A and B are shown apart, each in its own frame.
Chain A
Amino acid sequence: MSDTHVQTSTSLPPEPEKATMEGRNKFLGFWLFLGAETVLFASLFGTYLGLRNSTNGGPTTQELFSLPMVFVATVILLVSSLTSVLAIQAMHRNNMKGLQFWFGVTVLLGFSFLGLEIYEFVEYVHHGHTFTSSAFGSAFYTLVGFHGGHVLFGVLWILVLQLQGIKKGLTVVTAPKYYVASLYWHFVDLVWVFIFTVVYLMGKVG
């Protein structure tokens, strides 16, 4: 188990995130965790689909949703996915500056997404569509809110890693963390694509 020694040298292996046993474990463990998250969101989607027409006399999906705004949010998130890819590519080039920069952009985009979402929710509340107004309301805010919570956690997490990076630099210990955080971010974006399709697009059409 000698490969678990901490390396501090500047020459990183080509895939630093998988260089140590810990790194590989973290990598696999995180994938499995995402598997569990997938089932979690699947259950939430199922619940939402079961309840989306139970508006209890409140506004329906067609009346509520404004696609342009959601579309902007979608673009923001997709771009942030791209920037996190750029960050990891920078990491693979052992370019700490690039890594920090692109993660910085990712975080900014994440925050603006959250801003939009909050704005959107406030709008809905004005239309009488609240968490407690109907089963549809509960299901909607739970599903979209869960995703929002994930975005929030994601940006905070990346932020913490960035701060840590300033002190610790890029090592075989920190590399897996960056990698895993970017995986998480992709996952969160992917979930949004589904929300966009299932909740908003379908809500608008049918």
Chain B
Amino acid sequence: MSTHVSHAHKKKNILWDYLTTVDHKKIAILYLFAGTLFLLIGGIEAILMRLQLMVPENDLFVGTTFNQLLTMHGTTMIFFAAMPLVFALMNAAIPLQIGARDVAFPFLNSLGFWLFFFGATLTNISWFTSGGAPEIGWTAYAPLALPEYTGTGSDYYVLGLQLSGAGTLIGGINFLVTIINMRAPGMTFMRMPLFTWTSFVISALILFAFPPLTVGLFLMMFDRLFGANFFDVTMGGNVIIWEHLFWIFGHPEVYILILPAFGVFSEVIPTFSKKRLFGYHSMVFATTLIAFLSFMVWVHHMFTVGLGPVANSIFAVATTAIAVPTGIKVFNWLFTMWGGRIQFTTANMWALGFIPSFVMGGVTGVMLALPPADFQFHDSYFVVAHFHYVILGGVVFGLFAGLYYWWPKMFGTLLNEKLGKLHFWLMFIGFHMAFLPQHWLGLMGMPRRVYTYLEGQQLDTWNYVSTIGALIMGVATIVFAINIVMTFVKGEKAPADPWDGRTLEWSIPSPPPEYNFKQTPLVKGIDAFWIEKMQGNKEMTPAEPLGDIHMPSPSILPFIMSLGFFIASFGFIYHVLPVIIIGMGIGLGSMLARSLKDDLGYHIHTDELQEKGV
């Protein structure tokens, strides 16, 4: 066995390169594009729904069709758009922020992506099948999701989520290990950038929250495909079990989405206020506390199920408690800006727009958490308004902030600031216009998930306004798309440190070389790069001499493995045994192949490094 497996660095075509890559920076780009694609799909679904609801008794999308739209919109947005976009940023930034050359499990990283991608594709393929898309809401409550009531769409939902959920779990473990084991010398936990911290915490949440979903999906799958009776009341089943399992997962899931966004803001706001983050330690603590509490509140989605006043009260109190750590964060951001020098870059605009929008959504969350009030709010448009405020005003704004902020690091080009600001303003206005009126709609008696409403219930005006808002968001998205295309066509080249950044990722070239850091940096405190800059250094102090760098080899196996499970899923849905066997064979076979063949990787030698002269 030779240690000199020479440089597998031949030029390959781009497609093959991306299919086989195990480089976290490229995987980030894969996540980014897949996530954006599904964001567009989910957005179009949203706009179609809003068109149907624009006027009373409209008949554009009626009954099942509308239910399919809303199910696919919710599912796509949460699982196939927001999650991968979060993972895109994590992949792009975390290894760079902690001064690592790579993630802990490059191979698994790629596997995680492909599992997600095939899962998402699977679910979306349902549109083109005779059974149609799932029509059960993103929460897929039993027994509506049982074969007695709905067709193969529900199977697509179950299997698609199962696949992509496995991918997410793998991703979570990868990031946990990466952050625990791969930090550069001096990068103690209490010096980690906040985005890394929040990502670390959500990875732990993923670890604990996804298995209940997995189990729930298995039970549902067994009920649907193999005649089990978990949710079949006539055979002794219990429909509430699904609700518990789903929300034990579902509630932490919303924090899995929002915490990384919080992390992004904690990077963006200090950078563009030219000030270190106010109350760093309490920020970290608030993050862990939110994560801790997030497992104790799932019943607030089930206040009307009839669990009794004792359970309701207690989960109410536990839920409202989350306002405290969240409030700590909000005020810390405000006081980061206090006394700073605030620059209105596009990235920062998103962060600034986030603060009032999210707080607005957060406080309606607290209102929802009061059971007597929730008896009115629950399953009404008030809830829809709440979660779009936190999700759009929090998660989506966070993703955009992160994207405008790290785009130069990811692609080496700068997005156009003018278009960026236009994108922001259209989105901001459209967003408030679309969702603020939905609060009133809910209180005025409009249930959610209805494909229409009757005339003469005074619901017309606000629905109309809401739809206009959604259309404006659509225009905003088109502006964003133009910006991206323009940047690819003739983007401004980005310097290594375009924003006068504070953390390690800005100390290396944009885009970074495949090995990230030529020499692992030595970290001397919070905002490591800022410290160096303040000491007059242009670069980080290295923690090791220049030496050979070991890199993992690319591999097509993750793709093939995921493809195998993807194929097998069709076998399950249509009860075709050979297809199941072939698919599982491919999947397990590539697992075996991976286990048998050790990846020795390759080395980049010192002379090459010097040649590149970075």
A–B touch (CB < 8 A): the answer is yes
A→B interface (CB under 8 Å): 1-2, 4-6, 8, 21, 24-25, 28-29, 32-33, 35-37, 39-40, 43-44, 46-47, 50-51, 54-56, 131-139, 142, 157, 160-161, 164, 168, 173, 177
Contact A40 B211 (CB under 8 A): yes
B428 within 8 A of A: no
Given A2-B548, A160-B595, are A44 and B229 neighbors across the interface (CB < 8 Å)? Answer: no
A1-B550 in contact (CB<8A): yes
Q: Looking at the complex, which of B18-26, B172-180, B268-276, B527-535 is the stretch in contact with chain A? A: B172-180
User: Chain B nearest CB: distance from A124 CB in Å?
Assistant: 15
Contact A29 B105 (CB under 8 A): yes
Within 8 A of A (CB), among B140-174: 169, 173-174
Which chain A positions have C-beta within 8 A of B3? 5-6
- Note all chain A residues with C-beta closer than 8 A to B592: 160
CA distance A160 to B238 in the complex (A): 41
Which parts of B195-249 form the interface with A (CB within 8 Å)? 207-208, 210-212, 214-216, 218-219, 222-223, 226-230, 232, 235-238, 241, 244-245, 248
A51 contact set on B, CB distance < 8 A: 230, 236-238, 241
A168 proximity list for chain B (CB < 8 A): 598
Given contacts A21-B182, A32-B177, A132-B227, 13 further A-B contacts (CB under 8 A): A1-B549, A8-B1, A28-B180, A32-B176, A36-B169, A36-B173, A43-B215, A50-B241, A54-B235, A56-B235, A132-B226, A132-B228, A138-B219
Cα–Cα, bound, A133→B237 (Å)? 11
Q: Please give me the residue from chain A that is nearest to B108 by CB atom.
A: A29
Pull 13 A–B residue pairs with CB atoms less than 8 Å apart, ordered by A. A1-B549, A6-B3, A24-B181, A29-B176, A33-B173, A39-B211, A40-B214, A40-B215, A51-B236, A51-B238, A133-B235, A138-B219, A160-B592
**What residue of chain B has the Cβ atom nearest to residue A139's Cβ?**
B230
Query: Roughly how many angstroms separate A151 CA and B176 CA in the complex, as a whole number?
Result: 27
Residue B373 CB within 8 A of the other chain: no
**Which chain A residues border B14 with CB–CB below 8 Å?**
none
Tell me if B399 counts as interface (CB < 8 A to partner A): no
Q: What is the CB-to-nearest-CB distance from B77 to chain A, in angstroms, rounded to a whole number?
A: 25
Q: How far is the CB of B575 from chain A (nearest CB, A)?
A: 15
A40 contact set on B, CB distance < 8 A: 211-212, 214-215
Residue B547 at the chain A interface, CB threshold 8 Å: yes
What is the bound-complex CA distance between A11 and B331, given in angstroms? 58
Which residue of chain A is the closest to B210 with respect to CB atoms? A36
Min C-beta distance of B223 to chain A, whole Å: 8
- Using Cβ atoms and an 8 Å threshold, which residues of chain B touch A24? 181
Query: Could you say which residues of chain B place their CB within 8 Å of the CB of A173?
Result: 598
Given contacts A2-B547, A36-B169, A134-B229, contact A47 B219 (CB under 8 A): yes
Interchain nearest-CB distance for A34 vs B (Å): 10
Q: Pick the contact of B236 from A29, A43, A56, A161 — CB < 8 Å?
A: A56
Q: Which residues of chain B are within 8 angstroms of A161 by Cβ–Cβ distance?
A: 595
When chains A and B are docked, how far (Å) is the Cα of A206 from the Cα of B241?
22
Of all chain B residues, the one with the shortest Cβ separation from A137 is B229
Interchain CB contact under 8 A, A131 and B226: yes
Interface residue? B600 (CB, 8 A): yes
Query: B101, B228, B229, B596: which contacts A164 (Cβ < 8 A)?
Result: B596
A1-B101, A131-B227, A132-B227 are known contacts. Are A54 and B238 too (CB-CB below 8 A)? yes
Is B104 an interface position by the 8 A CB rule? Answer: yes
Query: Which residues of A sit under 8 angstroms from B595, Cβ to Cβ?
Result: 157, 160-161, 164, 177
| Set of chain A residues within 8 Å of B177, measured between Cβ atoms | 25, 28-29, 32
Residues of A within 8 A of B174 (CB): 29
A182 CA / B499 CA spacing, docked (Å): 49
Top 6 A-B pairs ranked by shortest CB distance?
A54-B236, A138-B228, A135-B236, A40-B211, A43-B215, A39-B211
Bound Cα distance A131, B219 (Å) = 12
Structural contact, B212 and A43, CB atoms closer than 8 A: yes
Residues from chain A with Cβ under 8 Å of B232 in the complex: 135
- State the CA gap A44–B3 with chains docked (Å): 46
**Taking CB as reference atom, which chain B residue is nearest A163?**
B596
- B residues within 8 A CB of A47? 215, 219, 230, 241, 245
Bound Cα distance A177, B598 (Å): 11
Report Cα–Cα, A54/B237, bound state, in Å. 7
In Å, the complex CA distance between A136 and B229 comes to 8
Contacts of B238 in A (CB 8 A): 50-51, 54, 135
* Chain A residues whose C-beta falls within 8 Å of the C-beta of B598 in the assembled complex: 168, 173
Q: B345-371 CB contact bits vs A (8 Å, 1 = yes)?
A: 000000000000000000000000000
User: Closest Cβ of chain B: how far from A81's Cβ, in Å?
Assistant: 23
Does B550 contact A37, Cβ atoms closer than 8 Å? no
| Nearest opposing residue in chain B for A157, CB measure | B595
B residues within 8 A CB of A132? 226-229
Chain A residues within 8 Å of B215, by CB: 40, 43-44, 47
CA of A122 to CA of B203, assembled, Å: 42
Q: Are B181 and A25 in contact (CB under 8 A)?
A: yes
CA distance A32 to B182 in the complex (A): 16
**B104 and A29 contacting across the interface, CB-CB below 8 Å:** yes
- With beta carbons under 8 angstroms apart, the residue of A36, A46, A135, A160 that contacts B207 is A36
A33 to B206, CA, bound (A): 11
Residue of B at shortest CB range from A40? B211
Contact present for A25 and B211 (CB under 8 Å)? no
Contacts of B228 in A (CB 8 A): 131-132, 138, 142
Expressed in whole angstroms, the minimum distance between the Cβ of B349 and any Cβ of chain A is 38
CB distance from B259 to the nearest CB of A (A): 18
- Note all chain A residues with C-beta closer than 8 A to B214: 40
Q: Chain A: which residue is nearest B215 at the CB level?
A: A43
Task: Give the residue of A25, A33, A135 whose beta carbon is less than 8 angstroms from that of B230.
Answer: A135
A5 proximity list for chain B (CB < 8 A): 3, 550
